[in-house]
A and B are shown apart, each in its own frame.
Chain A
Amino acid sequence: EPEVTQTPSHQVTQMGQEVILRCVPISNHLYFYWYRQILGQKVEFLVSFYNNEISEKSEIFDDQFSVERPDGSNFTLKIRSTKLEDSAMYFCASTDREASVSPLHFGNGTRLTVT
C-alpha cells in the first residue's frame, strides 16, 4: 500500500537554527498537510496546501514557518530560527481529494528536538 514518507525520522538542532522537514506524499494525492504533536498532547493542525499554495493555516503557523513543493514529489516544512517550544513530532499527511470523507494518510513523523 502506498505510504507517506518523511525524513529525517529525528532531527536535533540548536535554538535559532533553521530546519527543513521533508515529506513525500502518496503519488496521486493532491492535498497536503502538516500537523505537529507535542509529546503527550493532541495532534495540532498547522497548514494545508493545494495547487502550489497554502489553502488554510492555523495561528501556530506564523512567519517562522513556510511550506514548499519544490518538485513533483517533495513537500517541505521550513522552520526558521527554531525555538525550544518548537520541539515536537511533525507529521505530514496527504489526501487524494478534497471530499469530506477523504481520510488523512499520515507519515511516520519527524521528531524535532531543539536544544
Chain B
Amino acid sequence: GQSLEQPSEVTAVEGAIVQINCTYQTSGFYGLSWYQQHDGGAPTFLSYNGLDGLEETGRFSSFLSRSDSYGYLLLQELQMKDSASYFCAVRWRGAGGFKTIFGAGTRLFVKA
C-alpha cells in the first residue's frame, strides 16, 4: 500500500521561512506533489517533483529525494494568507493508470 507522513501542524511568524516535511512509502512511485487548501476551499496545486532536487516557484520551493523517500515544501517570506493546510501527495502508477494519494495534511498557522 501507500503511506505518507507529514506533521499535523506548524506555526510560524509573518516574514519567516517554514519547511513542511513529507516521507512516503509506495510502490510505483512517480513523483511528489504539494497542494494548498484554505478552509472551505478546494485543494490547489502548488508544485511537483519527479526528479531529485529542488523546484522553485516564487516564494515556494519543493524538494525531493527519491532514495530517502522524502520531500519537503519550503515557504519563504510568509504572509498571513499562507495560513492553510498543505498536503503532500504521491503520484504513483497502479494497474489502471496514474493515481494521486494525499497525506493527512499539515495545518500552517502564520502569526503576525
Interface residues of A (CB under 8 A from B): 31, 33, 35, 41-45, 48, 50, 54-56, 91, 98-109
Contacts and interface: CB of A to CB of B under 8 A. Distances in A.
Contacts of A104: 35, 43, 45, 100
A56 B87 contact: no
B89 to A, nearest CB: 8
Interface string B86-106: 010001011111111111110
Interface string B6-40: 00000000000000000000000011010101000
Interface in B65-110: 87, 91, 93-105
B71 to A, nearest CB: 14
Nearest to A105: B45
A55 B42 CA distance: 23
Contacts, number: 63
Interface of B: 30-31, 33, 35, 37, 41-45, 48, 50, 87, 91, 93-105
A93 to B, nearest CB: 8
Contacts of B94: 56
Contacts of B87: 42-43
A105 B101 CA distance: 14
B7 to A, nearest CB: 13
Contact of A100 (B41, B45, B98): B98
Given A91-B42, A104-B45, A106-B44, A55 B102 contact: no
Contacts of B93: 100
Nearest to B98: A98
A33 B103 CA distance: 17
Contacts of B45: 103-105
Contacts of B31: 100-101
